[in-house]
Amino acid sequence: MSAPLTVDDWPPPPIRTARLVLRAPAARDRADFLDLGTDDEVNRHLGGGRDRATLDAELPAVPADRPGQFVVEHDGAFVGWVGLGRRDPARPGAGHVDEHRPDLELSYVTPQSAWGHGYATEAATRVLAWADAVLGEPVVLCTQSSNARSLALAGRLGFIEVARFEEFGAEQWFGVRHPGVRRATPADATQMAQVAVAAYSPYLERMDGARPGPLDADYAAAVTDTEAWVVERDGEVVAFLLLVAEDDALLLDNVAVLPSHHGTGIGRALLTLAEGRARAHELDRIRLFTHVTMVENQRLYERLGYVETHRGGEGGLVRVFYEKVL
Q: Give the domain-ending residue among 177, 193, 211.
A: 177
Q: 70 in a domain, yes or no?
A: yes
Are 84 and 220 members of one domain? no
Last residue of a domain, one of 159, 177, 195: 177
Q: Given CA atoms 143, 226, 237, 20 in this order, what sign does their dihedral have?
A: negative
Question: With contact defined as beta carbons under 8 Å apart, do 123 and 108 qualify?
Answer: yes
Residue 223 contacts residue 185 (beta carbons within 8 Å): yes
Chain-centroid distance, C-alpha 318: 34
- The list of the chain residues with pLDDT below 70 reads 1-3, 95-96, 98, 315-316
**Identity (one letter) of the amino acid at 114?**
A
What does the pLDDT look like over 204-227, one tens digit per residue?
988 887 888 899 999 999 999 999
Alpha carbon separation from 39 to 109, 115, 165 (Å, rounded): 11, 14, 26
Q: Does residue 171 sit in the same domain as residue 188?
A: no
Among 63, 58, 55, 110, CA closest to 82: 110
DSSP 263-323: TSSHHHHHHHHHHHHHHHTT--EEEEEEETT-HHHHHHHHHTT-EEEEEEEETTEEEEEEE
148 and 30, same structural domain? yes
**Would 239 be classed as within a structural domain?**
yes
| Residue 301: CA count within 13 A, CB half-sphere | 25
| Residue 312 is assigned to a structural domain of this protein | yes
Helix (H, G, I), strand (E, B) or coil at 252: strand
Sheet holding 227-233, edge to edge: 181-183, 227-233, 236-245, 250-257, 285-291, 317-325, 307-314
Question: Are 169 and 213 in the same domain?
Answer: no
292 and 321 Cβ atoms separated by less than 8 Å = no
Report pLDDT digits (tens) over 278-307.
988 889 999 999 999 999 999 999 999 999
Is 2 part of any domain? no
Q: What is the pLDDT of residue 8?
A: 85
191 and 166 part of one domain: no
pLDDT of 1 reads: 53
Question: Residue 88 CA to chain centroid, in angstroms?
Answer: 22
Are residues 261 and 205 part of one domain?
yes
Domain shared by 153 and 237, yes or no: no
Q: How many CB atoms lie within 10 A of CB 65?
A: 15
Please count the structural domains in the chain.
2
Domain-embedded: residue 127: yes
Dist. CA 174–CA 24, nearest whole Å: 27
Domain limits at 130? 15-177
| In-domain check, residue 171 | yes
pLDDT of residue 89: 87
Q: Are 219 and 115 found together in one domain?
A: no
Q: Which residues pair with 143 in a beta bridge?
A: 173
Question: What's the rounded Cα separation, in Å, for the pair 212 and 76?
Answer: 50
Of 160, 177, 194, which marks where a domain is finished? 177
Q: Which domain CATH number covers 134?
A: 3.40.630.30
**pTM, two decimal places:** 0.75
- Per-residue pLDDT, 47: 87
How far apart CA 310 and CA 228 sit, in angstroms, is 26
37-55 core/surface letters (b: 16 or more CB in 10 A; e: else): bbbeebeebeeebbeeeeb
Q: Do 172 and 188 belong together in one domain?
A: no
Same domain, 189 and 294: yes
Do residue 194 and residue 172 come from a single domain?
Answer: no
- The contacts of residue 210 (CB under 8 Å, 6+ apart) are 315, 316, 317
Q: Is 5 domain-assigned?
A: no
pLDDT in the model for residue 178: 85
User: Is residue 106 in some structural domain?
Assistant: yes
Predicted local distance difference test score (pLDDT) of residue 269 = 85
Q: Where are the alpha helices (DSSP H) in the chain?
A: 30-38, 52-58, 119-134, 148-156, 189-200, 219-225, 266-280, 295-303
Same domain, 125 and 214: no
CA of residue 74 relative to chain centroid, distance: 23
What local confidence, expressed as pLDDT, does residue 137 receive? 87
Overall residue count recorded for the chain in this entry: 326
Dihedrals phi, psi of 314, to nearest 5 degrees: -155, 125
For the sheet containing 15-16, what is the strand order? 15-16, 20-23, 69-74, 77-86, 104-109, 139-144, 170-177, 160-167
The one-letter amino acid at 318: V
